[in-house]
Amino acid sequence: MTWSQMQPLLEQACAETLVMVGWSTLIAVVAGLPIGVLLVLTDKGGLLQNTVVNKVIGQVVNIGRSMPFIILMVALMSFTRWVTGTTIGSAAAIVPLAIGGIPFFARLVETAVREVDHGLVEAVQSMGGSTWTIVRKVLVPEALPSLIASTTTTIIALIGYSAMAGTVGGGGLGDLAVRYGYQRFETGLMWVTVAVLAVAISLIQFAGDYAARALHRRGGRSGPSPRLRFLKAKEPAAADISKVA
């Protein structure tokens, strides 16, 4: 297979992957962010502590995370048809990709938001801030570098999932590699596809890291790092008061 034969195939596959991953990432981020934040807020000791809601969301997320993507795609077929009117093609693949991406991203959001210093939450509470204010002005902005890193991870995971979209005729790079490389022994095209994927993922990772680091550098941390704070202990000199006792 010559390069001129490969080129149109690759171009089309790239475009399909881009559409599938782009839309599903967008949906996963938009839906996963509030779910992740809610997981933190409703957790024990959280601002909206609610064990029932927390357990229910947590379980749903776990089920979503534990299901192999190919099974999820099949299981969601009737839902996909209801949303897009079809169960084949790129548009149809976006639905399970997004549904698979939501719990994945939500867990990452949960971890990122949990790492925000509780002192900041307390400070805004002491100013009279509501829970919504705290989410908007503290939790999300302070977790932003981590959230960007989480988005990068989600995009890469979704590119991986999208390889399976070929089973519903969604196309994309992974599908190209399977159909030509595996089924037609076009090893050359398969390796080219792998190379394209490798380059794409490296670029995405680089861009994500760069953005996260740029934000982090601007902000830095207020106060000593958590590790240092631990080493320093909370009250460095209790010596003065010991004279009283």
Partner 1 sequence: MITTTGLTKVYRSRGREVTALDGVDLHVREGEVYGVIGQSGAGKSSLIRCVNLLERPTAGTVTVAGQDLTALAGRGPRAGRDLRRARSRIGMVFQHFNLLSTRTVQDNVELPLEILGTSGKERSRKALELLDLVGLADKAKAYPAQLSGGQKQRVGIARALAGDPKVLLSDEATSALDPETTRSILALLRDLNRQLGLTVLLITHEMDVVKSICDSAALMEKGRIVESGTVSDLLATPGSELAAALFPVGGEASGDDRTVVDVTFHGDSATQPVISQLSRTYNIDISILGAAIDTVGGLQVGRMRIELPGRYEDNVVPVGFLREQGLQVEIVGQEAPALVKEGVK
Q: Which pair of structure tokens corresponds to residue 133?
A: 């204010």
**In angstroms, what is the minimal distance from the CB of 206 to partner 1?**
23
Q: Could you tell me if 50 and 56 are in contact, meaning their C-beta atoms sit under 8 angstroms apart?
A: no
Among 84, 111, 125, 153, contact with partner 1 (rule: CB under 8 A): 125
69 near 161, Cβ under 8 Å?
yes
* 93 token code pair: 């693949």
State which amino acid sits at residue 166.
G
Least distance (Å) between residue 119 CB and partner 1: 4
CB-CB contact of 13 with 172 (8 Å): yes
What separation in angstroms does the CA of 74 have from each of 19, 61, 86, 116?
20, 18, 13, 38
Joined together, the tokens standing for residue 106 give 């939500």
Q: Please tell me whether residue 43 binds partner 1 under the rule CB under 8 A.
A: no
Contact between 73 and 162 under an 8 Å Cβ cutoff? The reply is no
123 binds partner 1 (CB under 8 A): yes
CA dist list (Å): 82 to 58, 137, 175, 185: 26, 37, 25, 37
50-109 residues near partner 1, rule: CB under 8 A: none
236 binds partner 1 (CB under 8 A): yes
Q: How many CB atoms lie within 10 A of CB 199?
A: 10
The residue from 53, 77, 124, 204 that contacts partner 1 (CB under 8 A) is 124
Residue 228 touching partner 1 (CB under 8 A): no
Give the interface segment with partner 1, choosing from 52-60, 71-79, 128-136, 159-167 (CB under 8 A): 128-136
Structure tokens at 32: 């996963």
Among 141, 160, 169, 188, binds partner 1 (CB under 8 A): 141
Binding to partner 1 (CB under 8 A) within 198-217 occurs at 215
Residue from the set 3, 26, 119, 199 that interacts with partner 1 by CB under 8 A: 119
Return phi, psi of residue 25, to 5°.
-65, -45
* Contact between 127 and partner 1 per CB under 8 A: yes
Residues touching partner 1: how many (CB under 8 A)? 43
For 97, other C-beta atoms within 10 Å of its C-beta total: 29
Does 49 participate in binding partner 1 (rule CB under 8 A)? yes
Q: CB of residue 26 vs partner 1: minimum separation in angstroms?
A: 23
Nearer to partner 1, 184 or 221 (CB): 221
Structure tokens at 168: 């519903």
Please say which residue, 78 or 243, places its beta carbon nearer to partner 1.
243
Which residue ranges make up the site for partner 1 (CB under 8 A)?
47-49, 117, 119-120, 122-131, 133, 137-138, 141-142, 144, 215, 218-224, 229, 232, 234-238, 240-245
